[in-house]
Amino acid sequence: MDQGGYLNKIFRTIEKYRLVEKGDKIFVALSGGKDSAAVLFALKKFNEERDPDFEIVGFHINLGTIGSEKIQEIVEKQCELAGVKLVVFELKKEGIDLGEIAKKNRRPICGVCGVIKRYLMNKIPRELGATKIATGHHGDDILVFFIKNILGMNYSWIGKFRPKAESDNPKLLTKIRPLFFVGRKENEEFVKNLGVPYVQESLCIYFKEKIKLYEKTNKWYDIIDRLESEAPGFKERLLNSVIKMSTYFESEDQLKFCKICGEPTNTEICAFCRLTGKTKNSKL
């Protein structure tokens, strides 16, 4: 797809689902990978071309593992090229050691990493005045996740499958997914054409732990690609259907606030505090 067509799809998504408003301060969660870089540059182009006048800030969590410095350098370069400010949160500096936490809780490190990232991705930008957080989730991600959940008879997530996930909880930032209707290959082509550097997912030193999952996901990616080539428009139609379906599954989670840190949670004490063994007097 040409770059114009790609951006048009994203701009249409932003406008139709009102992902941005004048005066927004949008933090883009940057992992160093192609998808989050694509969101950053697509939002920047939207801001320049459609002039809705909002602020874009890059946000990166340095995981403090081998390779993290290299990843941070690439994220810094991405933000420099985009001309946006970057906020980096360094786990090590804040006394959070992923390996140690995983060992202590006897949990796989990828799961621990996910909990910690989700928590900080909401808390830190909100404290810095963010109105929304933008992520690199794209159409292929959504479809594969959707199919897996349907096959597993797990319907509780369907209510969240939409380009804009708003929340009733004032402490939970609205998440926007401008790449909802584009795929991973188009993202890669877009950032490559712009000459933006990015890292491969396999750079994570714990990649071996999730290689099986990664291979399975890739198989599903191939399947939906094949369906798309057999029946052009398949992806877009199914994605539209998923959005419609999500309205029938409005998530009813009664969001509470963690008794220790005060952050949004579904349980008495949030997953972050449980994992890190945080107490009321801790710093973070």
Contact residues toward Zn ion (CB under 5 A) are 258, 260-261, 270, 273
* Complex with Zn ion: residue 120 or 196, whichever CB lies closer: 120
Q: How far is the CB of 276 from Zn ion (least distance, A)?
A: 9
* Complex with Zn ion: residue 119 or 206, whichever CB lies closer: 119
* Complex with Zn ion: residue 212 or 283, whichever CB lies closer: 283
Q: How far is the CB of 266 from Zn ion (least distance, A)?
A: 12
**Half-sphere CA count of 265, side-chain side, radius 13 A:** 18
Q: How far is the CB of 254 from Zn ion (least distance, A)?
A: 16
* Complex with Zn ion: residue 176 or 273, whichever CB lies closer: 273
Q: How far is the CB of 277 from Zn ion (least distance, A)?
A: 11
Q: How far is the CB of 70 from Zn ion (least distance, A)?
A: 31
φ and ψ of 176, to 5 deg: -120, 145
Hey, what are 229's tokens?
A: 């080539």
* Complex with Zn ion: residue 124 or 270, whichever CB lies closer: 270
